[in-house]
Amino acid sequence: MKKVEPYCAPDWDAWLYAPEINTLDALCLSMNICPQEAHQDYGILDAMRGDEDEGFGGPRVADIEAAVTFQKRLFVTRHYGKRVKLVEFVNFARKLGWEMPAQLAQLATVPPPAKVVEPASDEPSSLSAPVKDAERSAAEAATRAAGTPFGPIENETRSHVDTACAAFWLNRKEQTLRGWASKENGPIRPIKVNGRNAWAVADIRRILSRR
């Protein structure tokens, strides 16, 4: 994956006093991305929204998990339209339990949701989710090369998987899932992460539960 420099942080002194802003700008602020830079370098927003074409230089987003997070937030805020009141947006994000920069979170007028205590894990806590996913993907590639299929979906902890993994669990050909994605006529639809299809594990589990 192409290495990119970290995006500039927002000028909070300027943004925190704006009562109403563009929804995309609010989403950028929630990800600690400077909206001005995102609009000047259109590749940032294109990659975050999954619109970037890999034929034009490859992915610009170094953190796939960040791109997935941006797309999820973009989806759940679609009811706002193009403009949103910043305090209303922050309160909405707070209720959903979003992680936000402290400068933005201070605008909230509602309490944060109760924290859920996660069960103890044997995995080192220092590993970030993207690193764990990368290691898991590498392990899956090795098992496929050895002729071993993917592990059971019951043990899956990632939110999204690639087409090969989704096809295995659904007992379908990879080309069938690609057809679902292109024609948008399948029982589930993927999101785009750096130009590639990413299938929600929750959607796959829902289909399997009906069988």
125, pLDDT greater than 90: no
- Compute the average pLDDT of residues 101-124: 65
CB 104 within 8 A of CB 90: yes
Domain ranges, ordered by start, for the chain: 12-105, 129-209
161, pLDDT greater than 80: yes
Residue 106 phi/psi, 5° resolution?
-65, -15
Determine the longest span between alpha carbons in the chain, in angstroms. Answer: 58
CB 131 within 8 A of CB 124: no
- Compute the average pLDDT of residues 20-48: 77
- Compute the average pLDDT of residues 159-180: 89
Which phi-psi region, left, alpha or beta, contains residue 173 (left: φ > 0; alpha: ψ -120 to 50)?
beta
Long-range contacts of the stretch 114-122 (C-beta < 8 A, 24+): none
pTM to 2 decimal places: 0.47
Tell me how far apart the alpha carbons of residues 72 and 157 are, in angstroms, rounded to a whole number: 17
Q: Does domain 129-209 have CATH number 1.10.1660?
A: yes
**3-class SS string, 149-191:** CCCCHHHCCCCEECHHHHHHHHCCCHHHHHHHHHHCCCCCCCE
Which residues, including other chains, have CB under 8 Å from residue 185's CB and lie 6 or more apart? 179
